[in-house]
């Protein structure tokens, strides 16, 4: 794939109706030139942006492709209340899905790409019940779409690390099998021993030189304490820029002074945060995190799975949810949500994303008058470009 492309008639990040259309020339997978009327070099394909809104492609910074049931027959939600019941409900049901993990993950990843996301971080459950089967399914999906998106995979101990003997060994096997990061889950609230849990996670990360992404649902002072423990380990192992806390509900469930301390701590140690704009939790302090310089991304979480009937594979839809859940009405705040869903998530994954010359040509064109209008309307994506190649058009994969 050459990565050479001329995109005609797009409006880069328009925040008003009078932003004129331009052409974008991509060369070698990068944005080479932006101008009012550009000529296509010989042999370079041309794509029509139809005057649409040009954005950096979306980043799904927190997905669970291994559990998706998107486009399969609907199953009523059967879990009880609480985290443990959700986990056990998935265990009871995942083997009876109409399709295997690889096929389901590949399909949903394709839908995600077609809707404009070309950077994805997916967690893959590793435990004594499923072994590496779910990980292998997500790795297969990554391979199937290798030319369409860049995908990171987290070896995720959904059932804890200390509760079941052998999980730590499976996490190491997952890293050897191709996982890019090692995950964790509520070291205190679920595994009941935050120091030991995090020692396993960070020891594996240090040994294999991989990143860390810890699910932290624990709220209030308990969650805040674990944020501190994670930052301490990131500092001790010189892992600035390689650690993420997913959900981080503690940030929105402590008082303002404590919240400020935690945000400053995350910024000091360059520990990133991802949110999924949950419906039943207080939103994270988005503006405070960004003002402090904390890398912040958005993800879809589970997509129509045994945890929840919600999710459709569309990151623009999730961006709307982020803005809605925060009560944002002003265009600037809605655009901030788009930035979190594009450049923000890319920074969490260690990528540079943008609309400037020299930036990677990872782009999406959305019909709309302005960025905010595109979020409100969420029309099928006109073009999705990865590495300078059109990978989807009109909402369908190519």
Domain ranges of the chain: 5-56+354-397, 58-348
1 falls in which pLDDT band (50, 70, 90)?
low
Residues near 15 by Cβ (< 8 Å), separated by ≥ 6? 331, 332, 335, 370, 371, 372
The answer to whether the beta carbons of residues 180 and 210 sit under 8 Å apart is yes
**pLDDT at 388 exceeding the cut of 70:** yes
Whole-prediction pTM value?
A: 0.97
Average pLDDT over residues 14-21: 95
Residue 7 exposed, middle or buried by CB count within 10 Å (0-12, 13-18, 19+): buried
84 falls in which pLDDT band (50, 70, 90)?
confident
81 falls in which pLDDT band (50, 70, 90)?
confident
CATH number among 3.90.180.10, 3.20.20.140, 3.40.50.1000, 3.40.1190.20, domain 58-348: 3.20.20.140
- CATH architecture of the domain formed by 5-56+354-397: Roll (2.30)
| Number of CB atoms found within 10 A of residue 267's CB | 16
Structure tokens at 329: 């009405």
pLDDT in the model for residue 97 = 85
The lowest-confidence range among 39-43, 201-205, 373-377 is 39-43
Name the strand (E) or helix (H) holding 392: strand 389-393
The answer to whether the beta carbons of residues 378 and 320 sit under 8 Å apart is yes
Provide the percentage of residues in the chain whose pLDDT is more than 90.
Answer: 92
Conformation bin of residue 48: beta by default, left when phi > 0, alpha when psi is -120 to 50:
beta
Average pLDDT over residues 364-383: 98
The answer to whether 5-56+354-397 and 58-348 have equal CATH topology is: no
Average pLDDT over residues 29-43: 95
pLDDT in the model for residue 90 = 83
DSSP 36: S
Label residues 201-218 b or e (16+ Cβ within 10 Å = b): bbebbbeeebbbbbbbbb
pLDDT in the model for residue 307 = 84
């Amino acid at each position: 794939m050459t990565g050479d492309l001329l995109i005609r008639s797009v409006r880069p990040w328009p925040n008003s109706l009078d932003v004129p259309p331009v052409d974008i020339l991509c060369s070698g997978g990068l944005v080479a030139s932006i101008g009012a009327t550009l000529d296509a070099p010989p042999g370079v394909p041309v794509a029509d942006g139809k005057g649409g809104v040009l954005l950096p492609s979306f980043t799904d910074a927190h997905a669970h492709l291994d559990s998706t049931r998107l486009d399969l027959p609907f199953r009523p939600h059967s879990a009880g209340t609480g985290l443990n019941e959700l986990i056990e409900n998935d265990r009871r049901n995942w083997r009876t899905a109409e399709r295997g993990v690889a096929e389901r993950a590949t399909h949903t990843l394709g839908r995600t790409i077609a809707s404009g996301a070309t950077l994805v971080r997916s967690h893959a459950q590793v435990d004594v019940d499923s072994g590496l089967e779910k990980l292998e399914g997500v790795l297969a999906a990554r391979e199937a779409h290798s030319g369409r998106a860049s995908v990171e995979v987290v070896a995720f101990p959904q059932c804890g690390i200390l509760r079941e003997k052998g999980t730590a060994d499976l996490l190491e096997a997952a890293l050897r099998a191709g996982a890019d990061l090692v995950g964790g889950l509520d070291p205190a609230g679920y595994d009941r021993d935050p120091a030991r849990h995090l020692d396993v996670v960070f020891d594996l990360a240090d040994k294999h030189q991989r990143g860390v992404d810890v699910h932290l649902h624990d709220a209030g002072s308990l969650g805040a304490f674990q944020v501190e423990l994670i930052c301490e380990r990131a500092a001790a192992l010189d892992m600035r820029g390689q650690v993420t806390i997913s959900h981080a509900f503690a940030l929105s469930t402590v008082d303002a002074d404590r919240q400020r301390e935690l945000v400053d701590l995350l910024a000091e140690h360059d520990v990133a945060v991802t949110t999924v704009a949950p419906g039943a939790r207080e939103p994270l302090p988005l503006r405070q995190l960004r003002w402090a310089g904390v890398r912040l991304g958005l993800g879809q979480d589970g997509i129509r799975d045994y945890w929840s009937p919600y999710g459709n594979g569309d990151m623009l839809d999730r961006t709307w949810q982020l803005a809605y859940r925060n009560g944002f009405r002003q265009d600037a705040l809605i655009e901030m949500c788009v930035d979190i869903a594009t450049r923000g998530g890319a920074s969490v994954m260690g990528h540079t994303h943008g609309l400037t010359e020299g930036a990677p040509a990872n782009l999406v064109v959305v019909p709309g008058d302005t960025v905010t209008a595109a979020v409100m309307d969420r029309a099928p994506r006109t073009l999705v470009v990865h590495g300078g190649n059109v990978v989807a058009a009109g909402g369908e994969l190519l």
